[in-house]
Amino acid sequence: MRDTDNAISHEDPLALFARWFAEARASEPNDANAMALATATPDGAPSVRMVLLKGHDDRGFVFYTNAHSRKGSEIRTNPQAALLFHWKSLRRQIRIEGPLAEVSAAEADAYFHSRNFVSQVGSAASDQSRALDSRATYLARVEQIAEVCQAAGEVPRPPHWTGFRLAPARIEFWIDRANRLHERRQFNRSGLSGWTSTLLYP
Ligand SMILES: Cc1cc2nc3c(=O)[nH]c(=O)nc-3n(C[C@H](O)[C@H](O)[C@H](O)COP(=O)(O)O)c2cc1C
């Protein structure tokens, strides 16, 4: 590639995301679907943590969590959020911004029950982000719920264990280029299905 050539195409950003994600899955040692999720309180105090991308299509990017967690309470009062992928093996970054909406109960049920038994029980037993006196307390709760659910034959999905979909309004692709003369392209949603894009100074 010549130095003046663009490494980031101006194709549909969702198709470009899918291509880069497939490349990351092939080259990252683990968790290519790990992404930082930034949320904020209504008065703008930010917080950030990692979550796993569990679905992506034209509607957006889906992760699952406990809606009673810190992130859950921020999302409830301020749905604006941002996602960040950084794939070290590829030296690439993707930033995605937009509003979050809860997935349907059917979608959350389907994903919850696709997880292994202990993961389901672990989620049901966790008051995510609340103070815990000892790890033994959590493990005892896991054991107790596992016993009940084993007898019942299933782990009911707690209603507060759910998924959120971020509908992208802006997506930015960054790629490492020689001598830190990096390349960035930002896509902005225009209209319902269209995008405009521009290069940005790195
Ligand atoms: C690689 C990685 C993936 C994670 N994936 C999730 C996830 O998909 N959902 C989730 O609720 N927490 C996940 N966590 C834990 C979160 O980072 C965080 O500790 C937890 O959700 C509580 O965040 P909160 O207190 O800001 O709500 C993950 C952590 C790591 C390091």
Question: Is 40 a member of any domain?
Answer: yes
- List the CATH number of the domain containing 194: 2.30.110.10
* Count of the separate structural domains present in the chain: 1
Q: Report CA(137)–ligand 1 centroid distance (Å).
A: 20
> Is the CB of residue 94 less than 8 Å from the CB of residue 174?
yes
Residue 123 buriedness (CB in 10 A; 0-12 / 13-18 / 19+): buried
Q: Which of 49, 92, 95, 180 is catalytic?
A: 180
Question: Is 68 a member of any domain?
Answer: yes
Question: Is 101 a member of any domain?
Answer: yes
CA separation for the pair 58, 75 (Å, rounded): 21
For the chain, residues with pLDDT lower than 70 are none
189 is catalytic: no
CA separation for the pair 86, 28 (Å, rounded): 10
Question: Is 17 a member of any domain?
Answer: yes
**Which tens digit of pLDDT belongs to each residue from 72-129?**
999 999 999 999 999 999 999 999 999 999 999 999 999 999 999 999 999 999 999 9
Question: Is 69 a member of any domain?
Answer: yes
Q: Residue 192's pLDDT is what?
A: 76
Question: Is 39 a member of any domain?
Answer: yes
CB distance 130 to ligand 1 below 6 Å = no
Q: Residue 4's pLDDT is what?
A: 86
Question: Is 133 a member of any domain?
Answer: no
Q: Which two tokens stand for residue 7?
A: 């490494």
Write out the residue range of the structural domain in which residue 68 sits.
13-115+160-200
Q: Report CA(71)–ligand 1 centroid distance (Å).
A: 9
